[in-house]
Amino acid sequence: MSKIKPSKGAPYARILGVGGYRPTRVVPNEVILEKIDSSDEWIRSRSGIETRHWASPEETVAAMSIEASGKAIANAGIAASQIGAVVVSTVSHFSQTPAVATEIADKLGTDKAAAFDISAGCAGFGYGLTLAKGMVVEGSAEYVLVIGVERLSDLTDLEDRATAFLFGDGAGAVVVGPSQEPGIGPTVWGSEGDKSETIKQTVSWDRFAIGDVSELPLDSEGNVKFPAITQEGQAVFRWAVFEMAKVAQQALDAAGISPDDLDVFIPHQANVRIIDSMVKTLKLPEHVMVARDIRTTGNTSAASIPLAMERLLATGEAKSGDTALVIGFGAGLVYAATVVTLP
């Protein structure tokens, strides 16, 4: 018989507060068109994107995270010192170590909270949310701060017609804490590594460091291009529309609800056409509010779901207590979907 005492966590967990930060610089499609042969109409029709936010040098991954987290903590009605763990999902913090989560935890004023980064691309927020739920229920932390943050403008090839217009910067954060009733449903998550080539970094950091131009992509002026994110657009579109709709339905089934029970749908803000196709495939009723934050924010990867959630609540398009389906999907290929009660 084990001598280990059982954990004493909360019976359930839920999102208690949400916060977001968008960089001050707003970038319209006209700026993107300076480098690629396209049009504003084409970008809008293909992606739905009208503008995106790009960070200044001062708006670092840590700085944006701290701004968003401060709002989430205040919204949750707790003190930063009560945060027991900080989980940061990002692919655009360029320092391999230490984790940026440790800097954020310290500057927020937590009491030596556990802190670590994860890399799960556009599904990163869902991964972090699942980890946070486990910590709260298991008892290793009473309150967990989950942050999705990206500076994808640093990883954008402005001469790549397929991706130059897609990406934006920003940070979204939520506080997960104890609840007496279910507030975060079972997570349906996974990966399809056989499709990893469809979304990837153009050049690995070690190859870039070597600087052998014979093997590295060059820009229009003959300079070595900084590593960027590239994707096979049609393959990603087909996968997202057909396979991720199935995952979303599985998350609804796991939570024991039907589309009619939903109030809000918050998918990863990858592409308006993908979002609209998923709505159609899932046969969501007209009363379900659908997040389309991508129009003015672009694709912010791990930050897109909490940013969209924060905007829906701020505008009154969604309200506290609403039942929402959230799903993230992206590079890996990885995915995560769950049903949550909005804070």
Query: What does the pLDDT look like over 78-108, one tens digit per residue?
Result: 999 999 999 999 999 999 899 999 999 999 9
Distances in whole angstroms, Cα of residue 160 to Cα of each of 30, 44, 165: 15, 17, 9
Decide which of 148, 181, 214 is a domain's last residue.
Answer: 181
Q: Is residue 29 annotated as part of the catalytic site, yes or no? A: no
For residue 2, name the pLDDT band (cuts at 50, 70, 90).
Answer: confident
Average of per-residue pLDDT values in the chain: 95
Q: Are residues 190 and 152 in the same domain?
A: no
Query: What does the pLDDT look like over 180-239, one tens digit per residue?
Result: 999 999 999 999 999 999 999 888 888 777 666 667 787 777 777 888 899 998 899 999
Q: Are residues 76 and 175 in the same domain?
A: yes
Q: Are residues 60 and 162 in the same domain?
A: yes
Q: Are residues 162 and 293 in the same domain?
A: no
- CA-only gyration radius of the chain, Å: 20
Q: Are residues 141 and 191 in the same domain?
A: no
Tokens of 180: 């007496």
Residue that is written with structure tokens 């009733």 in the block? 181
What's the rounded mean pLDDT across residues 132-144? Answer: 97
The whole-number pLDDT of residue 51 equals 98
Query: What does the pLDDT look like over 273-313, one tens digit per residue?
Result: 999 999 999 999 999 999 999 999 999 999 999 999 999 99
Looking at the domain assignment, is residue 216 inside a domain?
no
Q: Are residues 190 and 131 in the same domain?
A: no
Instruction: Give the whole-angstrom CA distance, residue 210 versus residue 112.
Output: 38
Question: Which domain CATH number covers 60?
Answer: 3.40.47.10
Residue 21's DSSP bridge partners are: 171
Q: Are residues 127 and 190 in the same domain?
A: no
Contact present, 151 and 88 (Cβ < 8 Å): no
Contact present, 303 and 174 (Cβ < 8 Å): no
Instruction: Give the whole-angstrom CA distance, residue 199 versus residue 192.
Output: 12
Q: Which of 29, 93, 268, 271 is catalytic?
A: 268
Which of helix, strand or coil describes residue 215?
A: helix
Decide which of 181, 211, 237 is a domain's last residue.
Answer: 181
Instruction: Give the whole-angstrom CA distance, residue 308 versus residue 262.
Output: 17
Looking at the domain assignment, is residue 202 inside a domain?
no
Looking at the domain assignment, is residue 246 inside a domain?
yes
- Which amino acid, one-letter code, is at 308? A
- Domain around 26: 12-181
Q: Which of 53, 75, 122, 271 is catalytic?
A: 122
What's the rounded mean pLDDT across residues 328-341? Answer: 96
Q: Are residues 246 and 290 in the same domain?
A: yes
Q: Are residues 169 and 107 in the same domain?
A: yes
Query: What does the pLDDT look like over 59-80, one tens digit per residue?
Result: 999 999 999 999 999 999 999 9
Looking at the domain assignment, is residue 222 inside a domain?
no
Looking at the domain assignment, is residue 210 inside a domain?
no
Q: What is the dihedral of CA 328, 339, 69, 97, to 10 degrees?
A: -50
- Which amino acid, one-letter code, is at 1? M
- What is the pairing mode between strands 25-28 and 169-179? unpaired
Residue that is written with structure tokens 């004023």 in the block? 109
Which of helix, strand or coil describes residue 212?
A: coil
Q: Is residue 122 annotated as part of the catalytic site, yes or no? A: yes
- Percent with pLDDT over 70 in the chain: 98
Q: Are residues 33 and 167 in the same domain?
A: yes
Query: What does the pLDDT look like over 252-266, one tens digit per residue?
Result: 999 999 999 999 999
Q: Which of 133-137, 249-253, 329-333 shows the lowest mean pLDDT across its residues?
A: 329-333
For residue 316, name the pLDDT band (cuts at 50, 70, 90).
Answer: very high
Q: How many domains does the chain have?
A: 2
Q: Is residue 271 annotated as part of the catalytic site, yes or no? A: no
Q: Which of the 8 DSSP states describes residue 93?
A: -
Which of helix, strand or coil describes residue 155?
A: helix
Looking at the domain assignment, is residue 276 inside a domain?
yes
Q: Are residues 157 and 39 in the same domain?
A: yes
Residue 145's DSSP bridge partners are: 86, 175
Looking at the domain assignment, is residue 212 inside a domain?
no
Angle among Cα 93, 95, 97 to the nearest 5 degrees reads: 115
Q: Are residues 152 and 107 in the same domain?
A: yes
Looking at the domain assignment, is residue 104 inside a domain?
yes
Instruction: Give the whole-angstrom CA distance, residue 182 versus residue 193.
Output: 32
Going through the chain in order, the beta strands assigned E by DSSP cover: 12-21, 25-28, 51-54, 83-89, 114-118, 143-151, 169-179, 188-191, 199-201, 229-231, 264-267, 289-290, 323-330, 334-341
